[in-house]
Structure 1
Amino acid sequence: MTDRSRLGDLIINRMKDVLGVAMDKDVAEHFGIKQASVTNWRKRGTIPIDQCIQLRQEKGVSLDWLLLGLGEGEVDAEYVSQTGDPFYTEVPLYDVEASAGNGAFFDQEQIASHLKFRNDWLTREGLHAKDLVAVRVSGDSMDGTLSNGDTVVIDRSKKKPDGVFAVRMGDALRIKRLQKMTDGSLRVFSDNAMYQPETIHPENMSQIEIIGQCYWRAGRVF
């Protein structure tokens, strides 16, 4: 391996460390380029300066380390002070049971803990931290899709049915599957066949508030 190809190889390996991936195709996917481009960096010893700058902006990692291997891959201190954790974003997990009684959802006082998500994953999924909240599932009405005790992340920017959504009905927060009907009514149903579906007619839409779409879940493996 020539000195130049060795340089390209080292830079790509450091990129993988930053991104937490193992394959060239994953690096290419992150930057939205063809895998052949990454292969060429390696073979020709090309310095992918634009992509290194992009990682500096996204992750706050030192350019000296990415390009030259100097230092330990530490994150730029100024970047951390401005953005917090350079690799992860915290999504608040709310104790909605405590807030359901008075109808106040997602108040600061009701944050029970936080979930951490990689920033690069959020970017790939088109998610924005300001729109995300997490809650725990209670009950069996969504069995088959969600189980009692599961944690779900809700994207509050997405409120157009169809799909699984968190909704406010009265003072209760529920997770239901919603389907918009051709007559303008809204079908609200559970994935557990034991529960009967409900239909909200156009003149009664004030009875329900769509909080956001359930985008991600975590739970026990049975």
Structure 2
Amino acid sequence: MNSEKYNGLEILNRMKEILGLERDKDIAAHFGINPQMIYNWKARGTIPLDQCVQLRSEKGVSLDWLLLGLGDGEVDADYSSQVGDRDYTEVPLYDVEASAGNGSFFSQERVISYIKFRNDWLAREGLHAKDLASIRVSGDSMDGTLSDGDTVLIDCSRKKPDGVFAIRIGDSLRIKRLQTMADGSLRVSSDNALYQPETIHPENFGNIEIVGLCYWRAGRVF
């Protein structure tokens, strides 16, 4: 970008406006980059076009406004039905039972709804929209932590135990507590004491896939 034509600091401020963010590090978290990159943008006075195009795709914001400040930052009509509230990101809620047998839990054909999360909250938590999916809990194996019917937000970028994870064993999607043992094996347990834990040894790791960390839940208050 030509710095005489594009003012990097003004673009950065418009990015903050469209995302509902205030701090440079929150912008860095949204794009999944090191905060030092934001400092470099400001020092150079330019913003990489890739991030501008990403916001165009995510929010439907006019590039004329984002790059040049022309117009009022309105969302293009073609995007208006998809974008929704600019302060929020929509995370797909998947019908995982329907996709359990076809080898792909998270595909567009299996999206049954969307859950909105505030962009500033996602940024503070270090979560990125491209890594997120949500599913509903089925059964009582995680009672005490998760209940039947709860909705769980999964961060698919985090796959290293320990914690509560969505896992695939064969064609079955489960939510279990995972713990790495001293011998390298994986302890797979339920929080409901009625269910016995399993131990998966390294030679059998090919039979299990860690889908992602269960990061947040919503459900009924009992």
TM-score by length of 1: 0.66
**In structure 2, how many angstroms separate the alpha carbons of the residues matched to 1:110 and 1:176?**
22
Q: What is the match of residue 84 of structure 1?
A: 83
Q: Unmatched 5+ residue regions in structure 2?
A: 1-18, 25-41, 43-51, 62-71
Q: Unmatched 5+ residue regions in structure 1?
A: 1-17, 20-26, 33-49, 51-56, 61-74
**In structure 1, how many angstroms separate the alpha carbons of the residues matched to 2:74 and 2:165?**
39
User: Over residues 55-96 of structure 1, what are the superposed CA-to-partner deviations in whole Å (9 max), with x where a residue is unaligned?
Assistant: xx9998xxxxxxxxxxxxxx6215896993421111000000
Aligned partner of 1:87: which letter?
D
Q: Offset of 1:103 from its aligned partner?
A: 3.1
User: Over residues 121-167 of structure 1, what are the superposed CA-to-partner deviations in whole Å (9 max), with x where a residue is unaligned?
Assistant: 11111000000000000000000000000000100000000000000
Contact 1:103 1:172 in 2 (8 A): no
Q: What is the match of residue 167 of structure 1?
A: 167
Q: Offset of 1:101 from its aligned partner?
A: 2.6
Identity %: 69
- Structure 1 residue ranges (4+ consecutive) displaced by more than 2 angstroms after TM superposition: 57-60, 78-85, 101-104
**In structure 2, how many angstroms separate the alpha carbons of the residues matched to 1:161 and 1:93?**
24
Which structure 2 residues correspond to residues 65-104 of structure 1 after superposition, within 5 A?
76-77=73-74, 84-85=83-84, 86-104=86-104
Q: Offset of 1:31 from its aligned partner?
A: 3.7
What SS does the corresponding residue of 2:196 show, helix, strand or coil? coil
Q: What is the match of residue 155 of structure 1?
A: 155
**In structure 2, how many angstroms separate the alpha carbons of the residues matched to 1:115 and 1:84?**
13
Change (3 A) 1:91 1:103: same
User: Over residues 167-194 of structure 1, what are the superposed CA-to-partner deviations in whole Å (9 max), with x where a residue is unaligned?
Assistant: 0001000000000011110000000000
Which structure 2 residues correspond to residues 141-220 of structure 1 after superposition, within 5 A?
141-220=141-220
**In structure 2, how many angstroms separate the alpha carbons of the residues matched to 1:95 and 1:216?**
18
**In structure 1, how many angstroms separate the alpha carbons of the residues matched to 2:197 and 2:88?**
39
**In structure 2, how many angstroms separate the alpha carbons of the residues matched to 1:217 and 1:188?**
20
**In structure 1, how many angstroms separate the alpha carbons of the residues matched to 2:155 and 2:146?**
16
Q: What is the match of residue 35 of structure 1?
A: none
1:120 aligns with 2:120: yes
User: Over residues 97-139 of structure 1, what are the superposed CA-to-partner deviations in whole Å (9 max), with x where a residue is unaligned?
Assistant: 1111333211111001000111111111100000000000000
Aligned partner of 1:92: which letter?
P
Contact 1:163 1:213 in 2 (8 A): yes
**In structure 1, how many angstroms separate the alpha carbons of the residues matched to 2:197 and 2:75?**
53
The higher relative CO (CA closer than 8 Å, separation ≥ 6) is in: 2
- The structure with the largest alpha-carbon Rg is 1
- Superposition RMSD on alpha carbons, in Å? 2.9
Contact 1:165 1:177 in 2 (8 A): yes
What SS does the corresponding residue of 1:214 show, helix, strand or coil? strand
1:110 aligns with 2:107: no
TM-score by length of 2: 0.66
Contact 1:156 1:212 in 2 (8 A): yes
